[in-house]
Amino acid sequence: MYLCTNFHTMYYISKRLVISASHHLELSYPSKCSQLHGHNWTITVYCKAKELNADGMVVDFKLIKQRIESQLDHANLNEVLPCNPTAENIAKWVCDQLPECYRVDVQESEGNMATYEEE
């Protein structure tokens, strides 16, 4: 019989979400980004666990989608996040929503991505 356990194993998953949301940035310099504007954000959530839960998962992909997308999609991020909604701060906020999460990539537009990773 095959056993699905190993004492030195780490399980990893990732979930990619695409959300539409608006924000404006509070900056110390003049910028067009200080005006309300929107992006189609691509958020990739990375989770890990030494042991799988009772359902054989690190965390259910549906739960990740519910926790993140339900709060951010079609929202004004200034009204959701407790901080200036930069890509960096969004990544940290997303990571804080899931105990299994250790890394988040937030792409706000082609060529612009921020990563938050717990050490």
Residue type, 44: T
Q: Please tell me the pTM assigned to this model.
A: 0.91
User: What pLDDT, on a 0 to 100 scale, did the predictor assign at position 2?
Assistant: 52
Tens digit of each residue's pLDDT (9 = 90 or more) over 23-53:
999 999 999 999 999 999 999 999 999 999 9
User: What pLDDT, on a 0 to 100 scale, did the predictor assign at position 9?
Assistant: 86
Tens digit of each residue's pLDDT (9 = 90 or more) over 49-96:
999 999 999 999 999 999 999 999 999 999 999 999 999 999 999 999
Return mean pLDDT, the chain: 94
Q: In terms of DSSP H, where are the helices of 40-106? A: 61-72, 77-80, 87-96
Q: What CATH number should be reported for the domain whose range is 11-117?
A: 3.30.479.10
Tokens 């999609």 -> residue: 73
